Structure 1
Amino acid sequence: MTVTDSWDMPLRTRLLVRALNRSRGSDRMLVPDEIARSRAWFAPTRIPYTWVTGPVPAGVEIAGTSFAARDGQSIEVRTYRPRGAPGDHLPALLWFHGGGWVLGNTRGYDPICAWLADRARVVVLNVDYRLAPEHRAPQAVHDCVDATRWAASGASDPTGAGWRGGSLGLAGDSAGGNLAAVVAQVIRDEGGADIAYQALVYPAVDATMSSESVALHAEAPILTRADMDAFLAHYLGDAEDALDPLDPLVSPLHAEHLGGLAPALVQTADLDPLRDEGAAYAAALRDAGVDTRHTNYPRVPHGFLSFPGATRVGVAAREELVRWVRDHAYDGGLR
């Protein structure tokens, strides 16, 4: 019996995890060439891949745009808009992708971002923020804060159709969930946008890695403690001015106060090292008076929202995410 087989997952989930474990190299986060290859890969949006990732709805137009970050660097944004939606009628949702602040790309999130755009009737702005180790913390935070303020200005995509520049949503998975949580705190404190809601999908919110689930699931499928150590080593670095793991720009769970933040959905995976810190953040938000919903999904590992076809609960988790976005994106029930 393999390590994967020993986990309490449905057979189809175990088979996918086993295939993913075989395909990823042991030095994928140590050698620059391997990091580059990992960043560039994404599952094609065609059968049989979409049996696992979910299809990209035909009713969504995918395009691209960009904005200038605070240092003048042009940051690409992949946009998803329901076809036929009028002008600037739709609200916007900023999506920050996962990958430990080191890996990942916007193309790999076409299935979930297009699905959100189609089902929730929002314009999804998938931000290609800069990655470590070339760009250490807090560069990713700065890029995502700048993206949020740019979106709040009511910018436009290449088709000339913009989005409502008022209330915005923030969402992301894993490291992207970390960035969404951090951006919500920075915008609350410094202004520049009106945040209507946040959706944090198995977020990394405590860089001290001291929660019980980190030890319990140190050898978990998809994400291990060794992976987490490598990601944080790249993201924080070892320079004298490196951010402390307790800094709220890295660990939003350790912010001095959490009151006044936008309503939050927190989704966690039961077989995930990040499970307990996600649950702790949801509890801390609730204790601070923030409207918070937390759902822990059983028998699934980290990353499960990206492969709903290989789980029993992936579709339900996506439906919950869509309901949360749709219910909070519109004022007065406007559709």
Structure 2
Amino acid sequence: MTVTDSWDMPLRTQLLARALRRSRRPERMETLDEIARSRAWFAPARAPYTWVTGPVPAGVQIGTTSFHARDGHEVGVRTYRPRAAGPGPLPALLWFHGGGWVLGNVRAYDPVCAWIAAHAGVVVLGVDYRLAPEHRAPQAAHDCVDAARWAASGAPAADGSRGADGGSGIRTEGLGLAGDSAGGNLAAVAAHVLRDEGGADVTYTALCYPAVDATMSSASVREHADAPILTRLDMDTFLAHYLGDGADALDAMDPLVSPLHASEFAGLPATLVQTADLDPLRDEGAAYAQVLREHGVTVRHTNYPRAPHGFLSFPGAAHGGRAARAELAAWVADHASGSLQTRPGEVG
């Protein structure tokens, strides 16, 4: 589904884009200290910030837990459980945050993750996967795969007494993977790995303006090289940190970095792909939806006009942000409950 409208951004989006560009320039990601300062920031859950990000729903219990990855490293998880759901295990959605595999943190996604939990009736597990350049590819992907396997095991708490969400646990079936930008990349990569290697039965994925082609060869990368929020220079900087340049660096065509270049797509879970019209990543997201459809995967693709990269995180300042959240929550609710509303191969 493509919504037609003007390509110009609303004034409020332009003002936010300018503020974000001033605070996060590529030259401020040259040292680990500078990167650490950028990673640590998140918008406080109060006005006027919530006018932009949306509020954190009061009816969601937020907690923390962790699991041990394959190398023994303890990976943090931020949990969101809707109180209205009552006792008993709920379906789970793993959320992988954006930030170019370099920036971002789980707490910054409280408005998005809590909103999904409240409106979709699921437990959301925000995975604090390891970031570059300290941890190069495919470490982030490995952490996300391990997180899904942990969730599929029931995600027991460290003391074994309560569920990982601080309530009565999660269901091991109906598992979903989702994320935005680099997080969308990780959700797609994890879905491929889990299909091939097992360890978790993933029912659906939701990819919000995903980065699925590290070759950056699509037309929208050239068309929007100087776009608001995300530029070609940003993408070059992030990928340089994530891939590295040593002998063990992954090639940009490797499916663990570029799921668009995987050799097999059949058998992947039902997938929602949301793209933004004013985004360098627009065309690769659309291409990924198309190749899934061609291989018989249930797909819904929605392109949001007048929207820049990242618009899901600031619905108060971007065209389409609220509609995208509503579509995302509906997709999660439908598929977590096993109620599919699209036919195999359909593009909504």
TM-score range, shorter chain: over 0.9
Per-residue displacement from partner, 1:191-250 (whole Å, max 9, x unpaired)? 011111000000000000000000110000110001100100100001111111101000
Question: Which residue of structure 2 aligns with residue 183 of structure 1?
Answer: 190
SS across alignment from 1:308: coil
Tell me: CA distance 1:19–1:332, structure 2 relative to 1, closer, same or farther (3 Å): closer
Match status 1:204 vs 2:211: yes
| Structure 2 counterparts to residues 74-223 of structure 1, below 5 A | 74-155=74-155, 156-157=163-164, 159-223=166-230
* Cα separation, partners in 2 of 1:21 and 1:332, compared to 1, 3 Å: closer
Normalised by the length of structure 1, the TM-score is 0.95
Paired with 2:215 and 2:22, the residues of 1 have a C-alpha distance of 29
**Which residue number in structure 2 is paired with residue 11 of structure 1?**
11
Deviation at 1:30, TM superposition (A): 1.1
Match of 2:55 in 1: 55
**Normalising by the residue count of structure 2, what TM-score does the alignment of the two structures yield?**
0.92
> In 2, Cα distance between the equivalents of 1:251 and 1:110?
28
1:152–1:167 Cα contact (<8 Å) kept = no
SS of residue matched to 2:333:
helix
Q: Distance in 2 between matches of 1:289 and 1:119?
A: 29
SS of 2:27's partner is coil
The alignment partner of 1:66 has SS state of strand
- How large is the Cα RMSD of the aligned pairs? 1.3
Q: 1:52 touches 1:310 (CA, 8 Å); kept in 2?
A: yes
Matched, 1:277 2:272: no
User: Residues of 2 paired with 1:26 and 1:181: CA distance?
Assistant: 26
- Cα drift, residue 313 of structure 1: 1.1
CA deviation after TM superposition for structure 1 residue 26, in Å: 4.4
Structure 2 letter corresponding to 1:75: V
Q: Is the alpha carbon distance of 1:100 and 1:12 closer, same or farther for their aligned partners in structure 2, counting shifts above 3 Å?
A: same
Asked whether the 8 Å contact 1:27–1:34 carries over to 2, the reply is no
Distance 1:104 1:212 in 2: 27
- Counterpart for residue 27 of structure 1: 27
- Look up the match of 2:236: 229
Aligned partners of 1:87 and 1:163 also within 8 Å: no
Structure 1 residues 22, 290: closer, same or farther in 2, change over 3 A?
same
Task: Name stretches of at least 5 consecutive residues in structure 2 with no aligned partner.
Answer: 1-6, 156-162, 341-348
Spell out the pairing of 1:289-328 with structure 2 (5 A cutoff): 289-328=296-335
Count residues in correspondence.
327
Given that 1:88 and 1:164 are in contact with CA atoms closer than 8 Å, whether structure 2 keeps it comes out as: no
Sequence identity percentage = 74
Q: Secondary structure at the match of 1:309?
A: coil
State whether residues 89 and 168 of structure 2, in contact with CA within 8 Å, keep that contact through their aligned partners in structure 1. no
Shift of 1:111: 0.1
Kindly indicate whether structure 1 or structure 2 has the higher relative contact order, using CA contacts under 8 Å at least 6 residues apart: 2
Give the match for residue 274 of structure 2. 267
Deviation at 1:150, TM superposition (A): 0.2
Deviation at 1:332, TM superposition (A): 5.8
Deviation at 1:115, TM superposition (A): 0.2
**Aligned partner of residue 213 in structure 1, secondary structure:** helix
